[in-house]
Structure formats: C-alpha cells, structure tokens
Amino acid sequence: MELIWLVPAFPLAGFIVLALGRSLPGKAAGAIGSAAAGLSAASACAVAWLFASGGKAPYSTSLWPWLDLGAASPALALSVDALSIVMILVVTIVGFLIHLFSIEHMEGEEGYHRFFAYMNLFVAFMLILVLADNFLLLYLGWEGVGLCSFLLIGFWYGDRANGDAARKAFIVTRVGDVALLLGIILIAANLGSLSLSESPRLASAAWGRGSGIAVLAAALILGGALGKSAQVPLHTWLPDAMAGPSPVSALIHAATMVTAGVYLVARTNAFFSLAPQVMTAVAVAGAVTLLVAGASALAQRDLKRILAYSTMSQIGYMFLALGAAAWTGAIFHLATHALFKSLLFLAAGAIINALGHERDVLAMGGVAKKMPLLFWTFLAGAFGLTALPPVTAGLASKDAIIARLWYAGGDARLLWWAAMAGVLLTSLYTFRMLFLVFAGASRGPRASGHSAMGASTALPLVVLAALCLVGGLVDFPRVLGGEPYFGAFLGGALPASADTGATAGQELLLSLAPLLLSLAGIPLAWLLAKRELATEAGPALRARGSRLAAFVRGGFGFDRLYDFAFARPLSRLAGKGVDPVNLASEGLRSMTLRASRRLASTQKGPPGRYLAALAVGAVLLLAAALI
C-alpha cells in the first residue's frame, strides 16, 4: 500500500522522459507512453487487490509538507479509499487501452512525442486529483488536468480554430476553478482544515444543515464541478473540444476529466447533504443538461459532436443521481460510462481515420460491410449507452439511477420524467447515428483510407467491448438476479443510499420501463434517419425545420449568449489596449508643454508688443494715481 505514490509516478516519469527525449525514434515514443500507462494500471490493480484483501482500510501517505493557510496545513499527501480505488482503476485501465489504441491511430502525426508526453502528464494529474488527500492537492490535479486538456485539444496548433477551442475550454473551466478555489479558501478560513476526510466531519459538526455558510461552500464546490464536467451553464466548451484527436476525446472528454466533477461532488457529499438547496440544484443541473444535450445530439451532423453531447447528457444522469443522493449509483454509472463512451470515441476515431477524416455522418454510411469488427464493437458501446439487455454495463447503472428517482417521490417524480425523456432521446440519437454511419450504401466520396486495423488498434476495442458486456454484472439489481458487489465495495467510502422499501414487483416494473422506452426508440430512430437522408436530397423539406434544427444544433444558443454577454463586451472594453490612465498622464504632459510654450512667447515676441504694453501700463498707473 505504501507504493501508492507509484501509480501517479509512472506516467509522470513517462512525461519527463518523453518531454526531454525529443530525439527518440517515432515508434519508441508510443511504446514508452503506453508502457508508462500500463505500469501505472498494473500498480493500480495491485493496490486495489491489496486494498480489497486488506479489509478495505483507508490508507494515506504524506510525501512532504506544502504550505499552511492559517490553521490548515495541506501537504502533498495521497490517500486511498474505496472511491479512489474505483477511480484509479477506471483512469488507469481505460487510459492504458487508449494509449495502446493511439500508437497506431496517431502514426505519422507531426507532434508524436508531444502527444504521448501530454497524455502521460494528463494521466498523472488525473491520478493526483483522484488520490489527493486534501482540497489543495486536488486543486493542483484539477488545474493540471485542465492544462493537459488545453494542450491536447490544441494539439494540431497549426490551425487557429483548434487553438481558440482549446483556449475556450481552459477559460470556461477556469471560471469553475475560481469558484472552487474560493470554496477551498472559505473552508480553510472557517474550518481550519483542508483534509478531504476531516473537513466533512468538522463541517457537519460546525455548520447547521441548510445554514448560509454550508450552502455557500457547497455552491462554490458545485461551481467547480459544473465547469469541469461541462454541465449547464458551463458546458459550452465540450462540443468545441472535439477539435482534438479522437483518443484525446476518448480519454479526457469521455472517460476521465469530465467525470472529475462527479468525483468531487461524491467525495464532498457531506458538504452537499448539509445544503439541501444545493442538492436540488445539482439534480436540476443534471436534468437540464440531460435534456439539452440529448436534443442537441439528435441534431448534430458531426460524429464526434454527437458523442460529445451524449457524454454531456450521460454526466447529466450522474449529476441527477448525485442530486438524489444515490452516490454509489452515480459512481457506478461513471465507471460503466467510461467504458462504453471511450469505446464509442475510439471506434469513431477509427471510422473517421478510415474515411479520410470525414466527420459528417450524413456523408458516411455502409461502414458495417467494410469494417465488421468496428461495427460490432461500436454496437456493443451503443447498447451500453442505451442500456439494452445483452450489454449489462449501461443497463445496471442507469436503471438504478432512474429507479432511485421514482422512490424519492415528491417533486423528484418530475426528475423521473426528465430521466425517462432522456432515455428516449439517448436511444434516438444513438441509433440514428448507428444507422447513418453503418447501414445503407456508402454515401461518402472518400471511402478509401486505411481500413486495415493493426492488433494494437483492435485489441483495446475488443477488450472495452468485452468489459461493457461483463461490466454490468458487478452491480446487477437483485430483482434481475444480480448481486450489488459494487455497492457493497463502495459502502465504506460513500454513505449508503437509503433503502427504497419497494416491493420486488415494483422494482421489476421500474427497471423494465426504461428498457421498453429504449427499444421503442430504435424504429423511431430508423424513421428519423430515413427522413433526414431524404431531406438531405430535397431542399424544400429542409428549409422548414432548418431554423429550429440550427438552433438546437447550436446547443440551444448558449454559445451565442455567452459570446454576446461576456466575450464581445470584454474584448471591446479591452479595445486596442489603449490605456485611459496612460492617456491622462500623456494629456497632463502635453498640457504643461502647451502652457510653457505660451508663456515663453511673452519673452520672445515682436518688440512692438512690449512698447504697447509699456505705454498702456504707464497710462493705467497714472489713472490709478489720479483716482
């Protein structure tokens, strides 16, 4: 267990070796990068095994003292408990598979070293974030992860658009990070401790439930989470983040970074349970994002943007679960989502590469015939996403969340309806994507591309697909004959969700409802795809619905709103960088110069003026004498 620091150390070492060793031959960089990720995964499994067999006792080790904020003195310390074990397993295993996949996928790219260096750095920061023992170290990982997403989104920095997308991602998440930082300072100032284990205890002791300070702290933490997990209102950066390479989208914008927000809320659940108002806010944010993203995904034409919006809506589910205090359900969905969403992204990357960088789904088609392996793995991922029977990953986690909402009763019922709508939307956009990409004749002009897949590309896809199939069993609902091992495992770290007290029949019905809804979605999606292909041909039909489609495709106008509210006034305010204070000092300077020039003219003007002045002076003096 003491070797826990090895887990983040391997990718960090990989980063340093790759960053300094620019002269390494191409292939070696990929190998080193993947090796680092692999070793980290191995050590993570070892630690998990030791943890599980060692009686699941939380363990923390401190490397060196960092600084002290008043009473709180956060150190660079890593701590392990059930929650962080799950997270490091997800991060390292999925990370390793993605590294393997990108060896071949990124071949021939210009910054090959740079890519693997940043990917390793990302895994290192993510692990630091997850293993952090105190808020400050978590914040270090938090910002580091944001930095790597900036570097990797803007990987092909030759094109300005990628750079802008990367900057947008970093700045929008920075808004959330500042909220989190203020929250950390608030906690340090009021509780005197930043430790992730003690501060919740101190908080529940010191702060009353629903008191102002508790609500403020929870809200600030939620701000940070919303930014990083791309939930409404800080979600506009995720669709643009697709400018990065596909493995990046798979690792960062599907499996790990975007779920950091969920991890943070789960980790600080004590603060949230102290502030019920904020809990409802979490649920509402989740529900809103769920619907907005689902609808937008339906209208997208770019394959990766569909998956981006789908990720946003799935995380909406997780926030919904957190809002309903189903902590273990959220984390379980996080894990399964990481599996099938990274699978979908990797497969999408392979498809785009195979079709010569064609991203528009309407211009694809017939891929199933050409690349059957891709089709079957993509199908597995899609079934996971829409929680259909053979693939158990999505089924177990999502249905648990929806069921929990029903039992919560009261206005949570409203959230239940939103979740059900979400299920329908999910299956609609997933199968629309499936039909457009795989079914029918190949519509794309450039069907060439290297479709042959090497072992290092195929292996990760197959492994991920297998994990999707098996994944759900880990926490299958008892009513369907499963056993909630996962819930039990996490019991130590997260408060158990209240017993639902529902009869077996009710439970069965509740898990079947979403299933039926998903199945109903398939034919609808087929019709939708057909109509869309038709309208693609006939412009008349397209004109009518186009403005609404454009609005929905644009993510419900959030982008334009933020641009109008923040970006444009700020750049206008900054103007050409003309500094009014500087103008004031320049003005002062020219004023004094003008005054001195005017005074000087009394000294060197034509003599006639002096004579006149003399005469007038004399006359005036005489007059004064007379009066």
Partner 1 sequence: MNLQAIPLGLALFIVIPLACGLASLVLGGRSSAPGRLAAARAATLAGSLACLLLAAAAWLGGAVPARLELAWIPSMGSSFSLSLDGLSLPFLALSGLLGAAAVLASWKGIGERVPSFHFCLSLTLAGINGVFLASDLFLFAFMWELMLVPMFFVIDIWGHEGRHRAAVKFFIFTQAGGLLMIAAIAGLYAAHGAATGEYTFAYDRLLGTAGGLGQTLQFLLMLGFFAGFAVKLPAFGLHAWLPDAHTEAPTAGSILLAGLLLKTGGYGLLRFAIPLFPDAARAFAPVAMWIGAAGILYGGLMALGQSDMKRLVAYSSVSHLGFVLVGAYSLNEAGRNGVVIQMLSHGLSTGALFMLIGSLQDRIGTRELGRMGGLARAAPRMGAFGLALTLALLGLPGMGNFVGELLVLFGAFKAEAAVAVAAGLGLILAMAYALRMFQLAFHGEAKEKRSVADLSAIETGTLALLLAALLWIGLYPRPVLALLSLALPGIAGGTAP
Partner 2 sequence: MSGQGLEAALALAAALFAIGLAGIVARRSLVFMLLCAEIMLNAAGFAFIIAGARWSQPAGQVMFIFLLVTAAAEVAVGLALILTLTGTLTDTLTGTLTGALSGRPSKGDR
Partner 3 sequence: MNALLAVASAVAVASTLAVILQRRAVHALLYLIVSFFALAVAMLALGAAFAAALEVIVYAGAILVLFVFVVMMLGSEDARPRGAGWIGPSLLALVLLGELLYAFLAEPGLLAPGAASLPAAVPPQTVEPKAVGIALFGEYAICGEIAAFLLLSGLVGAFHLGRRDSPARPEGGER
Q: Which residues bind partner 1 (CB under 8 A)?
A: 19, 22, 64-70, 76, 136, 139-140, 143-144, 147, 150, 154, 157-158, 160, 163, 167, 170-171, 174-175, 178, 181-182, 185-186, 188-189, 570-571, 573-579, 581-582, 584-586, 589
Residue 192 three-state SS: coil
- Which option in partner 2, partner 3, partner 1, none does residue 136 bind, with CB closer than 5 to 8 A by kind? partner 1
Amino acid letter, 247:
P
Q: Nearest distance from residue 615's CB to partner 3, in Å?
A: 6
573 binds partner 3 (CB under 8 A): no
Residue 443 three-state SS: coil
Question: Contact with partner 2 (CB under 8 A): which of 63, 584, 612, 620?
Answer: 612
Chain mean position to CA 270: 23
Q: Which is nearer to partner 3, 52 or 616 (CB)?
A: 616
Q: How many CB atoms lie within 10 A of CB 158?
A: 10
161 binds partner 2 (CB under 8 A): no
- Which option in partner 3, partner 2, partner 1, none does residue 212 bind, with CB closer than 5 to 8 A by kind? none
527 binds partner 3 (CB under 8 A): no
Q: For partner 3, which stretch binds (CB under 8 A), given 278-286, 339-347, 424-432, 615-623? A: 615-623
Question: Rule CB under 8 A: which of 138-157 touch partner 3?
Answer: none
- Which option in partner 1, partner 2, partner 3, none does residue 626 bind, with CB closer than 5 to 8 A by kind? partner 3
DSSP string computed for 128-178:
HHHHBSBHHHHHHHHHHHHHHHHHHHTSSTTSHHHHHHHHHHHHHHHHHHH
Tokens representing 410 are 């009261």
Q: Which is nearer to partner 3, 593 or 619 (CB)?
A: 619
620 binds partner 2 (CB under 8 A): no
- Using CB under 8 A as the criterion, what x/- string covers residues 568-607 for binding partner 2? ------------------------------------xxxx
Q: Nearest distance from residue 595's CB to partner 1, in Å?
A: 16
The β-bridge partners of 134 are 195
Amino acid letter, 481:
G
Q: How far is CA 61 from CA 75, 78, 133, 134, in A?
A: 10, 6, 9, 12
Residue 113 three-state SS: helix
The β-bridge partners of 75 are 65
- Which option in partner 1, partner 2, partner 3, none does residue 175 bind, with CB closer than 5 to 8 A by kind? partner 1
Q: Which is nearer to partner 1, 178 or 488 (CB)?
A: 178
What backbone torsions phi and psi does residue 428 show, to the nearest 5 degrees? Answer: -60, -55
Say if residues 324 and 494 touch (Cβ distance below 8 Å). Answer: no
Q: Which is nearer to partner 2, 20 or 612 (CB)?
A: 612
Q: How many CB atoms lie within 10 A of CB 64?
A: 7
- Which option in partner 3, partner 1, partner 2, none does residue 622 bind, with CB closer than 5 to 8 A by kind? partner 3
Task: Find, among 252, 237, 246, 236, the residue nearest to 149 by Cα.
Answer: 252
CA 515 – CA 520 distance, rounded (Å)? 9
Q: For partner 3, which stretch binds (CB under 8 A), given 6-14, 78-86, 593-601, 613-621? A: 613-621
Tokens representing 444 are 């794309």
Q: For partner 3, which stretch binds (CB under 8 A), given 91-99, 183-191, 233-241, 618-626? A: 618-626
612 binds partner 3 (CB under 8 A): yes
Q: Which is nearer to partner 2, 565 or 618 (CB)?
A: 618
Residue 474 three-state SS: helix
Amino acid letter, 120:
N
623 binds partner 3 (CB under 8 A): yes
Q: Nearest distance from residue 616's CB to partner 3, in Å?
A: 7
- Which option in partner 3, partner 1, partner 2, none does residue 163 bind, with CB closer than 5 to 8 A by kind? partner 1
CA 259 – CA 127 distance, rounded (Å)? 13
The β-bridge partners of 80 are 59
What backbone torsions phi and psi does residue 72 show, to the nearest 5 degrees? Answer: -70, 135
Rounded to 5 degrees, what angle do the CA atoms 535, 288, 421 make?
Answer: 60
CA 85 – CA 64 distance, rounded (Å)? 22
- Which option in partner 1, partner 2, partner 3, none does residue 607 bind, with CB closer than 5 to 8 A by kind? partner 2
614 binds partner 3 (CB under 8 A): no
Q: Nearest distance from residue 618's CB to partner 3, in Å?
A: 8
Q: Nearest distance from residue 625's CB to partner 3, in Å?
A: 8
Q: How many CB atoms lie within 10 A of CB 349?
A: 24
**Range 587-590 contact pairs with CB under 8 angstroms and sequence separation of 24 or more:** none
Say if residues 385 and 430 touch (Cβ distance below 8 Å). Answer: yes
- Which option in partner 3, partner 2, partner 1, none does residue 55 bind, with CB closer than 5 to 8 A by kind? none
616 binds partner 3 (CB under 8 A): yes
Q: Which is nearer to partner 1, 112 or 407 (CB)?
A: 112
Q: Which is nearer to partner 1, 13 or 19 (CB)?
A: 19
CA 147 – CA 167 distance, rounded (Å)? 10
Chain mean position to CA 272: 21
Helix axis angle for 539-553 and 276-299, nearest 10°, is 160
591 binds partner 3 (CB under 8 A): no
Say if residues 251 and 122 touch (Cβ distance below 8 Å). Answer: yes
Question: Contact with partner 2 (CB under 8 A): which of 3, 565, 583, 611?
Answer: 611
Question: Rule CB under 8 A: which of 186-225 touch partner 3?
Answer: none
Q: Nearest distance from residue 382's CB to partner 1, in Å?
A: 36
Q: Which residue is it, tokens 């019709």?
A: 527
Q: Which is nearer to partner 3, 534 or 616 (CB)?
A: 616
Q: What does the binding site for partner 2 look like in residue numbers (CB under 8 A)?
A: 604-608, 611-612, 615
Q: What does the binding site for partner 3 look like in residue numbers (CB under 8 A)?
A: 612, 615-616, 619, 622-623, 626
